[in-house]
Amino acid sequence: MTAVRRVVIVGAGLAGAKAAETLRDKGFDGSVTLVGDEPHRPYERPPLSKDYLAGKVDRDTVFVHDTSWYAEHDVTLRLGVAATAVDRAAHRVELADGDALDYDRLLLTTGSSPRTLPGAAGVHYLRRVEDTERIRRILDTGGHLAVVGAGWIGLEVAAAARQAGMRVTVLESLDLPLLRVLGPEVARVFADLHTDHGVDLRLGVSPTDVAADGVRLADGTRIDADAVVVGIGAVPNTGLAERAGLRVDNGVVTDAALRTSDPDVLAAGDVANAFHPLLRRHIRVEHWANALNQPGTAAATILGADAGYDELPYFYTDQYDLGMEYLGHVGPDGYDRVVVRGDLAGREFVAFWLRDGRVLAGMNVNVWDVTEPVKALIRSGRPIDAGVLADTGTDLAALVF
């Protein structure tokens, strides 16, 4: 710990804030500076497409810490200013306002940005708190909302809009929403969920002209709308790392300890393509749990501990009366079987994705308190009999504990 006196964290979101918190919790008494290009202190992003968008919680609930926490823990906030360059030889970060910060260790938590549609002027994307507030004002006016993209963000926005009384059309190029994530066996659940709640879900379509007042499809169909939200994925914010000459490949490449190709520079959260010891490959995960948990490993590495991040990917969603948690990672080799435990049509079940009889991932829908046994099943790597797995009379915990 004595060799590291100055830590600079670039990216003032959840990951950056948790890294600063963990450093202090672990007894680090050197300088900690948190740099962010937004004017707000660090906040969490899941509420932006969930409870805050739906008007169920106040703005103050999205922030990671209250205003006084940073001063009380001697964490310097540099907000509303972007980091423009990293001089790795000099161990210095240059800022857009002309200032520079020296570091012994640098942590990049620069996150990701929405993938945009070229030429789509006047449409809305959802990433920052101001985006949510603009979309909330639209929901309050009623009318017709068109959503381009049926991923998690698109579907959560669609659900909030329907519950606010808007007419909603969702446009998706694939044959089902979330098809790449869930596969056809389970993706149908979300298609039915939205059509059951009155969404005009148009699948296998190709938007060719997207504007503020509507969307034209490749077949010539025109969908007029009062507003358009685009949710077609995100891209990691790797520009700073690329300019610094760090290894970048679908994010900033790190080892399990979250060190980049420069051992004095680390990365965590959405931007990190980290080696996962259990999965034995690099993965980049754009979900809240990584931003929450990876900073603990990064802080330990900064302080000289022998650390490695091996938490399983986890994410969740709430849409209408459906609550879901997903654990695990299917990976590039895919799965060869889906086992459903419970009532798929009734949307109360646990689904398991298997390969060679081993559980790769599990998703519980309106079934609770099963994440620990699901996690244990995945981590065990043991073949599991599909019939036993599907049997609701068998205690999941008994299969692994």
Is residue 47 a part of any domain in this protein?
yes
Q: Are 273 and 283 in contact (CB under 8 A)?
A: yes
- Do 109 and 55 fall into the same domain? yes
Is residue 314 a part of any domain in this protein?
no
Q: What is the CATH number of the domain that holds 338?
A: 3.30.390.30
pLDDT of 1 strictly over 50: no
Taking only the tens place, the pLDDT of each residue in 5-61 is 999 999 999 999 999 999 999 999 999 999 999 999 999 999 999 999 999 999 999
> Within 10 A of 20 (CB to CB), how many other CB atoms are there?
31
Q: What is the structure's pLDDT at 401?
A: 65
Residue at a domain's end among 230, 259, 283? 230
Q: What is the structure's pLDDT at 398?
A: 86
Is residue 312 a part of any domain in this protein?
no
Residue at a domain's end among 230, 257, 288? 230
Label residue 3 by pLDDT band (50, 70, 90): confident
- Do 247 and 289 fall into the same domain? yes
What average pLDDT does range 55-72 have in this prediction?
96
Taking Cα atoms as reference points, which of 246, 290, 249, 248 lies closest to residue 268? 290
* Residues forming beta bridges with residue 148, ordered by sequence position: 171, 230
- Do 53 and 29 fall into the same domain? yes
Domain that holds residue 183: 129-230
- Do 60 and 136 fall into the same domain? no
Q: Are 112 and 236 in contact (CB under 8 A)?
A: yes
Q: Are 320 and 163 in contact (CB under 8 A)?
A: yes
Query: Beta-strand (E) ranges in 238-291?
Result: 252-254, 265-267, 272-276, 281-283
- Do 99 and 53 fall into the same domain? yes
How many domains are contained in the chain?
3
- Do 104 and 10 fall into the same domain? yes
SS3 87: strand
What average pLDDT does range 105-118 have in this prediction?
96
- % of the chain surpassing 70 pLDDT: 99
Q: What is the CATH number of the domain that holds 254?
A: 3.50.50.60
pLDDT of 114 strictly over 90: yes
- % of the chain surpassing 90 pLDDT: 96
Rg (CA), the chain: 22
**Mean confidence (pLDDT) of the chain:** 96
- Do 20 and 107 fall into the same domain? yes
Q: Has this prediction a pTM greater than 0.85?
A: yes
What average pLDDT does range 118-136 have in this prediction?
96
Rounded CA gap, 331 and 279, in Å? Answer: 8
Taking only the tens place, the pLDDT of each residue in 328-366 is 999 888 999 999 999 999 999 999 999 999 999 999 999
- Do 254 and 267 fall into the same domain? yes
Residue at a domain's end among 230, 261, 277? 230
Is residue 310 a part of any domain in this protein?
no
pLDDT of 67 strictly over 60: yes
Rounded CA gap, 10 and 75, in Å? Answer: 13
